[in-house]
Amino acid sequence: MTTAATAAVPAATVRRLGRFELRRELGRGAQATVWLARDPHLEREVALKLLDPAATDGVLAHWLHEARAVSPLAHPNVVPVFEADTIDGQPCLVFEYVDGPTLAQARRGRGGMPPRDAVQLMMGVLDALAEAHARGIVHRDLKPSNVLVGQDGRPRVMDFGIAAHAARDGDGLIVGTPGYMSPEAARGESPAPAMDVFAAGMMLAELLAGAALLRERDPQRAIDRVQREDFALPAAVPVDDALRAIVARAVARDPRARYDGARSFHAALAGWLGAASEAVEPAAGGHGTLEFLLRRMRSKRDFPALSTSIVRIQRVASSETESLASLADAILDDVALTHKLLRMVNTVHFASAGAGSISTVSRAVALVGFAGIRNMALSVVLLEHMHDKQHQAQIREEYLRALMTGTLAAQMLTGAREAEEGFIGAMFQNLGRLLVEYYFPDEAQQIRQLAPQGGEAARDGAAVKVLGLTTGELGLGVARSWGLPAPLLRAMDRPEGDAPTRALPAGAERQRWAGRAAGELTDLMLAQPGAMPRAQLARLAETYGGALGLRLPAIEAAAEGGRTRFATLVDALGVAVPRAEVAHRLLPPLAVDLPAPPAGSTPATAGDTLAGHALAPTAVLPPAPAGEAPRISEPARTGERAAPASPSALSPAATPAPGAGVPRLAAGVQAITDRMAIEDFRLDEVLRMVLQTLHDALGLQRVLLCLRDPARHTLTGRFGLGRDAASLAPRFEVPLRTPPGNSPDLFAAVCAKGVDTLIADAAAPAIAARLPAWFARHVRAPTFVLLPLMLRGACFGLIYADQARAGAIALDERELALLRTLRNQAVMAFRQFDRG
C-alpha cells in the first residue's frame, strides 16, 4: 500500500489489531483506512486496510468475498492480498507493503510524461490487469491513486477490494471513480474487461497530457458526461498518430470499439514501442517541412493516419508464429476497418475464392491470406478521404500510380511472401508524393513544372528546391511517426545509383529494386495510351534485368499481368477512373470500335465500358429495337439485364437467374487452381475443367475451345462439351489475318481486338450481317459469348459458349468476373505448360 507523507504516530499511541502492530496511518478513504503495520510472526511490514465499522453486514460480506476472490492473484505488478478476514471484530485486508508513492502522488504537478516512459509504465499496469482478466476478475476502480510506484519504478496495481467477476449478472450499482469510470460502468452494467481498458486508457492519456481528460468537480456531472462525450488526447500533446490512435481506441465510448481486454491493449502498446525502437534515424535536411506536415496532419486529421490496428495487422501478418485467429482479432479491433475489408473480400475478385458470401473475418483471412488482408488494409487507409479535396483527380492519379507500382513490383518478384512484401514496399515508396499532392498542391505543381519528364532523380532535385527534402524522405519521416516497422521503412527507401548487374537474392534489396523498376514501368504506362513500345520495355529489362533476374519476355509478362491484377484491385476498392484522366491508361485496353461491316449494313459502335475487370471488359450487344442499330455498351451491372428478345424455337429452356452460377463457377475456379498447383498437371485436363465449369455452372447449350493453327493462321475448334459439340468443333475456323480490302467478320474482329463479347441476339440485322458463313450455316446459335485467349497482345485461342434462346445468357457482375478468371486460368495453364 501507500506511504503517504503523514507524521509517525507517537509510540505511546501505537495499538494492536490481533497480532498486527499498527505503526501509522497511510491513507483514508470513504469506506476504509489504510495503516502501516508490522506482522511479528513473519517479521515483515504489511499494509492493513480496515473497513469502516459502520458498514452494513451486506457490504461487509460482499467486501470480504471479493477480497478473498482476488487473493490468489500473484503477479509482479499486483499488490498481493495476504489475508482477508475479521480480526477482533474489525474487517480488514492484509496487503504487501510497497515503499513508494501512488502514481497520482508521483505525477502531481509534473506535466506530461515522455511518451516512451508513459507507455512502459502503463504496460506494467496492463500486465497486472491481464492476469486478473485471465482469472475472470475485473478491477472496476483503476485510477492513478490505486497504482503504487515502488523504489524500482515498477507500477503495482492495488485495491481490488471492489473487483468483481466478469460476466456476472449486473447489480445495477455504479462502481468506480468518476473521471476513470467507463460509460457502461456509469450505467451500472455488468463488470467486463473493457471497463478496465477504458480506465487504463484514461490514465495513459493523463500521463501523456499531464492532466486528466475528464476534469469535473461534480461527480454526477462527470458520470453524465462520460456517457455523452467522446474523449481523445488534445492536439497539442506531442505524440505521434499511432500512439494517439491507441489511446483513442482504448477510451472509445462504445465498448465494442475498444480493445477487448488488457492483453490486447498491452499488445498494441508493445507494437508501438517496438516500432519506435526499430525506426531508423530521420533523413538529414528538410526537418522544417516534415514537422510542419506532421503538425498539420495532427491538427486537421484529414489524411488517414495509420491506426494502431493496421500497424498490428502489419506485424501479425509478417510474423512466422502468429495464428489466423490473431490476425482476425487484430482486424476486429477496428470496427470500421472490419466492415471495409469484409466489403472488399466480397467483391467479384475475392469472392471467386469463397464460393459465396464471406461474412466472418476468420474466413476472409483463410481465403485471402495474411498478406492479402494486410495489403487491402494498407490500401484502404491510403485511399480514404481523397474525395475531400478539390484537386481529387491529381490525388487519385498519385494514389493509382502507387497502387500500380506495388502491383508491378509483386509481378516481378518470385515467391508469394516476397511478392506480397514487395507490393507494400513499392506502394509506400510513393507515400511522400501522395502526401505532397494532398497537403501541398501548389508545391506539387511546382515540382511537376521543374521536372516535367525528368524521372525520379529530376523530381528529387525539384522537391529539394521546393520543399527542402525529397518526397521519399518526407514519406519516410511520416511513416516513422506512424510507427511502421523497420523492414517496411527499409523497403520504402527507393535505391539510388545504378542497378546491380548480378541477380540479387530474395529479400529486402531485391524488393527495393523491384519497386524502383516498377515505378519506372508505371511512368511508361502513364506517358502514353495503348501498348508500350517494345524498345522501352527492352531498355527497362536491360537496366534492371540483371538485378531482378528478368529478361524482356518476363518484363512484358509482368506488365500484362500487372494491368490485370491492378484492374481487379481498382474494382475491389471502388475507385472510378474516368476515361479522360491519365490514370485510365493503367487499366487494360477497353472495348474499341469493331471494323466497319460490309457495305449496306449498319455499323456497331463502341460505347463506354466498365473499367477494372480481369482483362478487357465485356461488350454486351442487346437486341436492338426496330430501326435502331445495336451498340456495344457497358457490361451488365448487378441487377441490370439486356432486354430479352422473343424466344427462339431452338429450345424452351428458361434463362438461369442472374448470379445463380456463382457458387459453381467459384468452386470450379478453386478446383482448377488446386489442380494447376500440381507440378506435372496435364494441360488438356485443365482446359476440359474450364469448359466443364462454364457448361455446368451457367447451364449452357455448348462450350468449345478453339486454338491457333500456325500453318493456316486460323483459330480452329479442337474440342467441346454439350449439344453436337464434337461434330461442330471442326466447323469453327476464325481467320487471324484478314486480306487487304476485306472486312473481318464478327469473330475475327473480336479476336483481333481481344474484347470479351456477349451477343444477346444474333438475329439483330447489324449482328447477323457480321456473322461468318460457317456459323450461320452450321451453328445458328441466337446468343453466345466469346472469350479470346490473349498473350502479349496476340490471340492464340478462343472460348465459345452459347445458349438456345435469344437473351438466355444473362450474367451479373460476379459471373462476369468469374468467367474472366476461368479464361485467365486457361491462359495461365498454357503459359505454365509452355515454360515446363
Among candidates 166, 167, 22, 142, which has minimal Cα distance to 78? 142
Q: Give Cα 760 to chain centroid, integer Å.
A: 39
Rounded Cα distance between 747 and 779, Å, is: 13
Rounded Cα distance between 730 and 724, Å, is: 11
Give how far Cα 802 sits from Cα of 241, 286, 435, 723, 762, Å.
56, 64, 50, 10, 11
Rounded Cα distance between 476 and 460, Å, is: 14
Note the helical H segments in 754-809.
765-768, 773-774
Note the helical H segments in 115-192.
115-134, 183-186
Note the helical H segments in 679-724.
683-698
Residues 204 and 250: beta-carbon distance below 8 Å = yes
Note the helical H segments in 210-307.
219-228, 241-250, 262-278, 287-300
**Helix 392-412 to helix 416-428 angle, to the nearest 10 degrees?**
150
Rounded Cα distance between 297 and 355, Å, is: 42
10 Å CB burial of residue 43 (0-12, 13-18, 19+) is exposed
Rounded Cα distance between 166 and 507, Å, is: 47
Beta bridge partner(s), residue 83: 94
Residue 179 identity (one-letter amino acid): G
C-alpha cell at 301: 486529421
| CA-based radius of gyration for the chain | 34
Beta bridge partner(s), residue 91: 86
For residue 587, the number of C-alpha atoms closer than 13 Å in the C-beta half-sphere is: 27
Q: Spot the catalytic one: 52, 57, 99, 141.
A: 141
Residue 666 identity (one-letter amino acid): A
Among candidates 392, 374, 372, which has minimal Cα distance to 383? 392
Length of the chain: 836
Note the helical H segments in 707-754.
725-728, 746-753
For residue 274, the number of C-alpha atoms closer than 13 Å in the C-beta half-sphere is: 13
Among candidates 340, 282, 278, which has minimal Cα distance to 309? 340
- Cα torsion 805, 810, 815, 819 to 10°: value is 40
Coil/strand/helix, residue 275: helix
Active-site residue flag, 141: yes
Of all helices (H) and strands (E), which one includes residue 203? Answer: helix 193-209
- Residues marked active site are found at 141
